[in-house]
Amino acid sequence: MSVDTATEASEEGGDLLEIDGVSKHFGELKAVSEVDLSVPSGELHAIIGPNGAGKTTMFNLITGTLRPTYGTVRFDGQDVTGMSLDARTRLGMSRVFQSAEIFPDLSVRENLRLAAQAEEQSFRPFSRTLPEHERRAEEMLEDLVLDVDPDATAANLSHGDKKRLEIGMGLVTEPKCLLLDEPTSGVSEEDSERIIEQLVAMTEDITVILIEHDIDIVMGISDRITVLENGTRIAQGPPSEIRDDEQVQQAYLGGLA
């Protein structure tokens, strides 16, 4: 996704996600402090920072897993600050976790079908399956091109394929925004390249917010990047601007060049 494409999407649809002065305190610890963030529709936006910077806390505030101590979160024009994760999912927000959150005892196909149902019914294995859910699952199977039988038990997948399956589960709901927490964590370089290649190809028309430890990946696929350090935002902009930012260079102890 190019910066021009993201800019055009922003002009057409405005900001899909707006974070205004968000803070999260755990007692005396200020995990996130007065962060502002806006993500236009269609943008691939990365959130990076050293360990303990507040990246995962920020993700949890965006998805509703945590409620902010201060500040507001708006999604698709609605104030969702007090909404649950399920409510935000129904609005079009989908999250993929760092550790694969799949149903290991079910088949690949069943995992995708259940995920398709989640938009309306949450994850209930015995709820009624609609033809639309079956259609989405079958189309996602074709897009993922996993090297296994679709009826194989998900527990038997390789770590890389489990990651790709979970991304498929996040996309099968046809979300407006996909949030990815370290999608290449713990996988081989070959699997990492495959995951990123598929991710970029499959998310051309939706907004993506990404936490990723691999700076080369971040610099290669992001439209814009937000950098956190000690819970505060120290920089935000396109990859070229972030790479040359002196404060970012210092935060990463040796730089990004």
Phi, psi of 75 (to 5 degrees): -135, 125
C-alpha Rg value of the chain to the nearest Å: 18
Cα 51 to Cα 28, 56, 252, distances in angstroms: 19, 10, 10
CB-CB contact of 57 with 66 (8 Å): yes
Looking at residue 201, its pLDDT comes to 92
Looking at residue 252, its pLDDT comes to 78
Determine how β-strand 93-96 pairs with β-strand 177-181: parallel
d(CA 221, CA 58): 21
d(CA 46, CA 55): 10
Residues of the chain with pLDDT under 70: 1-13, 98-100, 119-129, 253-257
Domains of the chain: 1-92+207-257 (3.40.50.300)
